[in-house]
């Protein structure tokens, strides 16, 4: 089943700056081969639902293995049966003023 998702990873206990862990999480997601779009509040992804859920698991496993003690991930998943899903189609052109 194809899906779209937004993955936001929040490391807890690494200090006020979480940049290193957030970059690493994005990298783990990108290395899965999923289509990704990075933005200020997470990584949007497009692909098979299994692959997306595997990517989320890989992020938790990788960051814990590399020393992050606690992680919270906020995930949004979208699926539909009436037509193909894509990040490009979801991202409409905003109306001109």
* Interaction site with a copy of itself (CB under 8 A): 1, 3-4, 6, 8, 10, 12-13, 15-19, 22-23, 26-27, 30, 37-42, 44, 49-50, 53, 56-57, 60-61, 64, 69-82, 87, 90-92, 94-95
Q: Provide the 3-class DSSP secondary structure of residue 60.
A: helix
Taking the complex as a whole, the smallest distance from the CB of residue 56 to a copy of itself amounts, in Å, to: 7
Q: How many CB atoms lie within 10 A of CB 33?
A: 10
Phi and psi at residue 92, to the nearest 5°: -65, 160
Between 22 and 34, name the residue whose CB sits nearer to a copy of itself: 22
Say if strands 35-39 and 2-12 run parallel, antiparallel, or are unpaired. unpaired
């Amino acid at each position: 089943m194809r899906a779209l998702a937004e993955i936001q990873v929040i490391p807890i206990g690494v200090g006020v700056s979480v940049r290193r862990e957030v970059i690493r999480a994005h990298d783990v997601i990108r290395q899965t081969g999923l289509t990704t779009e990075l933005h200020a509040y997470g990584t949007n992804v497009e692909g098979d639902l299994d692959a997306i859920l595997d990517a989320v698991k890989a992020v938790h496993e990788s960051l814990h293995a590399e020393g992050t003690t606690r992680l919270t991930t906020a995930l949004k998943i979208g699926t539909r049966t009436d037509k193909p899903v894509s990040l490009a189609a979801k991202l409409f052109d905003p109306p001109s003023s």
